[in-house]
Amino acid sequence: MTEIEEENVSVTGIYSKFWRIALVVLSMLLIFVGPTYGVYAMVKVLKIHYLVSIGSGIIFFAVGMALMLFLIRKKLITL
């Protein structure tokens, strides 16, 4: 009886398919785009000092890696 009740529960939050995909895409953007195009955009478009933009790129990379590690530990994605 408990198995039937568990199957009828709707999945919301980070375990839904939409949020899993969105979080994986966000982490990939932070890992790959943040340190490359993000730094370039900050230097060329926003006219931010080069060292500040490099520091921001490193922070983007670290946040992306932490998010990916979180997703792997919660078993939202598998390797």
Q: How many domains, the chain?
A: 1
Amino acid 54: pLDDT: 94
Query: pLDDT tens across 35-56, in order?
Result: 999 899 999 999 999 999 999 9
The dihedral over CA atoms of 16, 21, 27, 32, expressed in degrees to the nearest 10, equals: 180
46 lies in some domain: yes
The Cα angle at residue 72 between residues 60 and 4, in degrees rounded to 5: 135
Task: Indicate whether 9 belongs to any domain.
Answer: no
Q: Does residue 69 fall inside a structural domain?
A: yes
> pTM for this one?
0.75
- Catalogue the long-range contacts made by 14-17 (C-beta closer than 8 Å, 24 or more residues apart): 14/74, 14/76, 15/76
- Which stretches in the chain have pLDDT values below 50? 8-9
Domain assignment present for 36: yes
Containing domain of residue 49, as a range? 30-74
Select from 60, 64, 79 the least CA-distant residue to 23: 64
Residue 32's pLDDT is what?
A: 94
pLDDT at 11: 61
